[in-house]
Each structure stands twice: as C-alpha cells, then as structure tokens.
Amino acid sequence: MTADPRAADRPPAALRAQALEELLTERGVVKTEVLDGFINRYVNDVGPLNGAKVVAKAWVDPDYRSRLLEDGTGAIKELGYAGPQGEHIVVLENTREIHNLVVCTLCSCYPWPVLGLPPNWYKDPAYRARAVREPRKLLAEMGLSLDDDVDIKVWDSSAENRYFVLPLRPEGSEGLSEEELAALVTRDAMVGVAAVEVSS
C-alpha cells in the first residue's frame, strides 16, 4: 500500500523549500543570485503590462494589428517581448460575435513574455476542468456574462503554442491615447475571462 504522503508530522512546504535551496547551494549546484534573478524578472519586469501595451498598439495601429494576428510572436517581439513560454504565440481576436478563452487543462501553460506568471484562478482545478466543458457558465460565475449569440472558442494550450487574446476595444475609448488605452487592459481580459471597460 502506498505510504500516505500527507503524514501529519511532515515538515511544511516552506521548510522543505528552504531545505532544498540549502542543499543545492551548499553543493554549488545553484547560486542564490541566479534564483533571485528569476524571481526579480517576474516580479518586476515581465507581467501583464507587456501584453496591455501590445493590445493598445493593436487598437490604434491597424498595420500592427494585422501583423499581430498574422504572426503573434514576431509582432510581440517588435515591442521587445520574448522569452521562455513564448516560442510561438498565437493571438486570438475577440469580436462582437466571437469570444476566445484560453486554458491549460494539463498544467498551467501561459504566455509568460506578455502576461508574466499565471494567476491563481488560471491554475485552479475548477478553471482547468470547466473551461473546456461549460465555459459560458464558468465565465458568468467569474463575472463575465456573454450574450447567447456570442460564440465561445476555448483554446487548450496542450503543446508549446501559447495563446493570447486581443480583447474588444471598449466603447467610449475613442479619444484615449495609446498609453491611456494600455492602462485599461487587464490580465484577465487577455486570457478571455473579462471584458475591457472604460473606468468611470
């Protein structure tokens, strides 16, 4: 019989993490500075603001929008965004008729160069399980109620392609600058679980 991996006296994960880091640094297998560098990159440099700039540019620049939909990876790289989990990025355009939603049912694949690391809800088993089966119901529970005549397309990131949603530009945003538009675009809208709205 399998030993219970949840034995009552097991050391908590935080201590195990400390133990693992100690063992690896003592042996010279990893360097603390390298670990710090990974963390700093995703806390300070790479996050959804990158994606928001991509979206805002696509909203104001029709040529860029065409390039983005044709070759997501290349157009995103024009703005300087590339790296791990972004080898091949496919951009999905939301319209009045079509709503796109991205999930990874097998793990947590996510386009890091444009969105940073995935939020908790994206990694939640409920999201991973239900997005491919009852997306409309799930989205409504998450705060996005879609009209019945909107078709839902769900994209399961099961290989190394990474998906990124170009949300609908909100009504009332006509006079805004590219920078002001970028400030409206949320992480959740670029995964497909929220709409972009003009703040009141």
Partner 1 sequence: MDGIHDMGGTHGWGTVTIDPAEPVFEEDWHARTFALGLASMGASGTNLDAFRHALERLHPLEYLGDGYYGRWLRAAETLLVDSGVLAAGAVEARARRLRGEEVVEPADVEVHKPSYERGGAGSLRQIDDEPAFVAGQQVRVRDLHKPGHTRMPAYVRGRVGVIEARRPAAVLPDSTAHFTGEDAQHVYTVRFESTQLWGPNAEPSTVFVDLFESYLEETP
Which residues are identified as catalytic?
104, 107-109
User: How many CA atoms, within 13 angstroms, populate the side-chain half-sphere of residue 131?
Assistant: 26
Judged by CB under 8 A, the stretch of 23-31, 49-57, 59-67, 173-181 that binds partner 1 is: 23-31
Q: How far is the CB of 176 from partner 1 (least distance, A)?
A: 21
Q: Is 77 in the site for partner 1 (CB under 8 A)?
A: no
- Give 67 or 130: the residue with its C-beta nearer to partner 1: 130
Q: Is 44 exposed, middle or buried (0-12, 13-18, 19+ CB in 10 A)?
A: exposed
**Total length of the chain:** 200
Rounded CA separation 44/128 (Å): 27
Rounded CA separation 200/198 (Å): 6
Residue 82's closest CA among 61, 112, 57? Answer: 112
Judged by CB under 8 A, the stretch of 40-48, 51-59, 60-68, 169-177 that binds partner 1 is: 40-48
Q: Is 197 in the site for partner 1 (CB under 8 A)?
A: no
Rounded CA separation 146/136 (Å): 7
- Give 152 or 198: the residue with its C-beta nearer to partner 1: 152
Q: Is 47 in the site for partner 1 (CB under 8 A)?
A: yes
- Give 176 or 194: the residue with its C-beta nearer to partner 1: 194
CB 181 within 8 A of CB 109: no
Residues 134 to 153 in contact with partner 1, rule: CB under 8 A: 134-138, 141-143, 151-153
One symbol per residue from 100 to 139: x for binding partner 1 (CB under 8 A), - otherwise; what is it? -----xxxx-------xx-xxx-xxxxxxxx-xxxxxxx-
